[in-house]
Amino acid sequence: MVLIALLISPLLTFFLLLAYGSRWSYRTISYVGVLGIALSAVLAIFLLDNCLSSGEHSALLWRVLNPDLMGNLFLDAILYVDTLSSMMTLLVSWIALLIALYSIEYMAQNENAARFFALINLFVFFMLLLLLAGDLWLLFLGFEGVSLCSFLLIGFYFNKPQALKAAFKAFITTAFGDLFLLLALVLCLQTFDIIDLQKIFAATADGSVDPKRASMISLLFLLAATGKSAQAPLTIWLADAMWGPTPVSALIHAATMVTSGVYLLARLSPLLELCVDIKALVLMIGAFTMIMAALVALIENDLKRVLAYSTMSQVGLMFMAIGVGGYGASIIHLMAHAFFKALLFLCAGTIGRSVGSYDMANMGDLRSDLKKTLGLFLIAAASLIGLPITAGFFSKETILSLMKHESTSIYFIGLAGVFLTGLYTTRMVVTVFFGAKREHRALSENFNPITFLSMVVLAILSLGFGLIGPEVSKALTLAIKGSHVTLYRGLHGWESVAIALLSITIYLFYDRSIKQKLVFTISDGTLRILRGDLGIYWLYRALLIDPYLTLTASLRSDPVERGIRLLSVTASRILSSLSLLHRPSLIYQLWFYILTGTAIITAMVLR
């Protein structure tokens, strides 16, 4: 009951806002919009409580396909609740609630606010469906659903052509990833005759499945996850997705949807544990994306794009954690990341409002104007870097200790990621809040209490998550099959702290003139390569986009149809030259031939 109400509540609000949004006042719209999510958030607490006390359970919603319709195929809609899914539900619904509260002020001036709140609610519905899905069909529905909401919300400011283009790009890229999920769905049903995930895991556990099949399926899932989580090679859409409203970037493109690839892989842990190669691939993809995105974040000048690349980089770290078997650790980092990255985006929203743009070249010396924002931003940034006692410190430590346990080289890659994170975060803080003052509007901040409250809650979570972290981590590690025990080292992990501090120091005490160069004028060639995600986008252009556009341009006049037309014209010429009647209409002519043909055949047979 709790489960159904939790899912239905945002969907209901979506329909309410769709139907009556144009008639209601802004106040009603925003309250209804928040209420739908708030109800889910409250119910999520009960769900987790229920799950912790009575263990995992699944609920059969309805039979999608009757099993005896064709050869014993089981296609059921099932919801599955375990520690992992209920914790994620709690996280997503609460983050969504906080961001919806923040949006009340942010969206106040917008005439399309009803549409905004409706879509946010729809997104929450699909996201919760994705998390709670116990079978692959509902999972796929959730995956496609969040893509759709993301598409509509990125293009929310539809007066900007770039926003529409970005929306198009994002949907196409994620749809490409989702294609693999569809194929995985087909392959699973082919192999196991069932799409219930738990039954699939049970079937794989007894070893009756062809290992090649198993790794094929997990490879498909991995590709789907890379599309959703903007990992290599499907990285190209996330940075452009920042054209959407900032609360959307915070919710969808930082805290929840982008990390659903990580969730998918953690959910599939029993399958991944069977395929060592695929796990190694996850590790490689994660490592590459983490380093690549951090390098790009170092040279980007748009605040939101820096944050977007930072998201990709952090999700890369989560992928690496999965690659070394730390499913629980990756989810812990997912949670911590959701807190501090959402807060960073909300701060960015406030900054963008007061400056009038997100270009960091227009910012600088905002510390005196935006005091509260500076405080919140610093907390979130410290958490992102992983300074001691913050949430980020705790979660990164869990991952790094696993890496150290696994192999030294992986550990060094992880530390390199920490170093780069420290570098680009410090650069971001310094250029936005300190440094030389530049031309900007710099309105003074006066927070609406609700807005401020939502940000403070996120700040508290970004700071204090480490306190409850060990408990969460233990519960998750127990819940996720195949998850390695996470060795939380506390302050013993001095290397990462040292490296983080080193990166900050390097940045702060670097010669100012060189720093200016480092920030804004790296040589153009390097810049261009970095901007296109280390050439990935260039590859797409050269191999896919441009050829497709050339192809479509050359096919526009439909050459095949022309060929057929030429053929038919020639045929009709021949026919009319054979015609015995004087200029008959074409129908009579054709019937004449039909009847003649019939007569000839009849004569042949009767003979």
User: Which residues of the chain form contacts with another protein (CB under 8 A)?
Assistant: 18, 22, 62-66, 68-71, 73, 112, 115, 137, 140-141, 144, 148, 151, 155, 158-159, 161, 164, 168, 171-172, 175-176, 179, 182-183, 185-187, 189-190, 551-553, 555-556, 558, 560-561, 563-565, 568, 572, 586-587, 590-591, 593-594, 597-598, 601-602, 605
**Minimum CB–partner distance for residue 143 and another protein (Å):** 9
Nearer to another protein, 35 or 64 (CB): 64
Cβ count within 10 A of residue 606: 6
- Tell me the C-alpha distance between 132 and 114, whole Å: 27
For residue 145, give the 3-state DSSP assignment: helix
CB of 605 to another protein, least distance (A): 5
Min dist. Cβ of residue 190 to another protein (A): 6
CB 257 within 8 A of CB 126: no
Nearest distance from C-beta of residue 283 to another protein, angstroms = 27
Residue closer to another protein, measured from CB, 22 or 505: 22
CB nearer to another protein: give 35 or 148: 148
Q: 3-state DSSP call for residue 76?
A: strand
Nearest Cα neighbor of 340 from 312, 305, 291, 377 is 377
What SS3 class is residue 423? Answer: helix
CB of 223 to another protein, least distance (A): 12
Nearest CB to another protein, comparing residues 138 and 344: 138
Contact 427, 517 (CB under 8 A): no
At 22, give phi and psi (nearest 5°): -75, -20
- For residue 454, the minimal CB distance to another protein (Å) is 29
The SS3 assignment for 80 reads strand
Please, how many CA atoms are within 13 Å of residue 185, restricted to the half-sphere of its CB? Answer: 18
Shortest CB 270 distance to another protein, Å: 24
Question: What is 94-105 written as a DSSP string?
Answer: HHHHHHHHHHHH
Q: Closest approach of Cβ 200 to another protein, in Å?
A: 16
* 173, 376, 469, 537, 559 from 551: Cα distances, Å: 20, 51, 54, 19, 12
Closer residue to another protein in complex, CB, 491/599: 599
Structure tokens at 476: 């998750």
CB of 553 vs another protein, minimal distance in Å: 7
Identity of the residue, 276 or 601, whose beta carbon is nearer to another protein in the bound complex: 601
The Cα–Cα gap between 594 and 590 comes to 6
Query: Is the Cβ of residue 45 or residue 216 nearer to another protein in the bound state?
Result: 216
Choose between 108 and 544: whose C-beta lies nearer to another protein: 544
Phi, psi angle pair for 557, to nearest 5°: -85, 5
- Which is closer to another protein, CB of 556 or CB of 582? 556
Amino acid (one-letter) located at 107: M
What single-letter amino acid sits at 135?
D
Token digits for 369?
């104007």
State how far the Cα of 24 lies from the Cα of 156, in Å rounded to an integer: 20
Residue 340: both structure tokens together: 């501090």
